[in-house]
Structure 1
Amino acid sequence: MTLRAELSAIAEPLVAKVMEHPFWTGLREGTLPPSSLWYFAEQDARHVVPAYARALARCAGIAERDEHGELLCSAATATFGSLPKLAAGLSGLAAGQSPAGPDGTVARPVVHAYASFMLAGSTVSFATGIVSLLPMTWFHLFVSNDLQKRCDPRSRYASWVEQYPPGGDYEGYVNAFLAMVDEMGAQCSAADRSRLVDRFLVGARYEWAFAEAAWQRQEWAV
């Protein structure tokens, strides 16, 4: 079994749980509290996406194969390039409400942990680095496609949902990323492969935890 097939079997039930989380359900139906969407969008734009971009660049820097470095550098550049769009989206949300609460420039507990997890992967190995990024890479495609298919057009968040999916050939990028993961899986030992699977599972759990943190508007306890 390829590593992609093994991870796909793990991802399928987890993606289903993520997409049925009250955060995403409420976003599709228009019942999500505005403060939860603000929490998600602000933390995503200021912390999660920048961490993802930097982690991509770090992995590119240690890639042994030029084509892997090229893929990751291009993805890092595109991700950094998306930050102004995300900032503009925040301005649009802020225009419709007066977000209250702690300073959004501070990463919340789950977000801080997830960002650190992604950034730390490449310090272990190239394979660990890219597997650490795979959940965000892959789940974003699933969630974006699901939102486009199932979002109620009458939802007050329909315009936000419309701009949420990444531009360009994102599905092609995900497939290229998965092909790279498969190459790493074919080269590693059984023990290393098991560690990669465990790493992927942790990242996938963070995808659910981020939605939960936004739903609960989780803050630091002290």
Structure 2
Amino acid sequence: MVDIFIIEDDKALSREISLTLSKWSYNVEEVKDLENITKEVLEVNPKLILMDINLPCYDGFYWCSQIRNFLKVPIIFISSRDSDMDIIMSINIGGDDYIKKPFSPQVLVAKVQAILRRTYSYNSDLKSDVLRCNDVVLNILESKIYYSDENIELTKNELKILHILMERQDTIVKRDEIIEELWESEEFISENTLTVNINRLRKKLDSIGLIDFIITKKGQGYIV
């Protein structure tokens, strides 16, 4: 897993930051496509993001709001802008800290360490609020599934089914296992009840272009 993802259009500065943090044994990656930042963040799934405000196409505030639709990953803004309004805006939009350029390597490392410690030291046992399967994103807190530019709301059972399958993607999940997790008991639950729920879910997924996302393995179960 990537520890820190750098979103900075100044390549020299980005490289300098990367080298500094790598010396502290952090796994660091730099953004490649500044026009598709949200997609890269979802692919990289970092523990922390360092985000410049002045970026081409859209500014860091825009990208922060987009990322917040999917992830709670901590974001530290780095910018030469230091007005009170910029700092307030960065906090209101979902940023966790603000570093003014130019900054010393020591300050950068100290802030990164503090954010990571505060965010993860007491939450190491918590499961992720987001599951991904290629370009499909399941937001558990929102009960929504995202694909391409589309998203749909899910019922409680639909969310549970997708959660079970996506958490174990590329693995066949038996029908009785899904029934047991879904209703917390195998008693009085017919096979047809699960079939009805799966079929309804498939229709929803079809509506946003996710054809055959859930595959039936005859006599075995389901797989995504």
After TM superposition, the score normalised by the length of structure 2 is 0.26
Higher RCO (CA-CA < 8 Å; seq separation 6+)? 1
Report the structure, 1 or 2, having the larger helix content.
1
After TM superposition, the score normalised by the length of structure 1 is 0.26
Quick check: which has more Rg, 1 or 2? Answer: 2
Report the structure, 1 or 2, having the larger strand content.
2
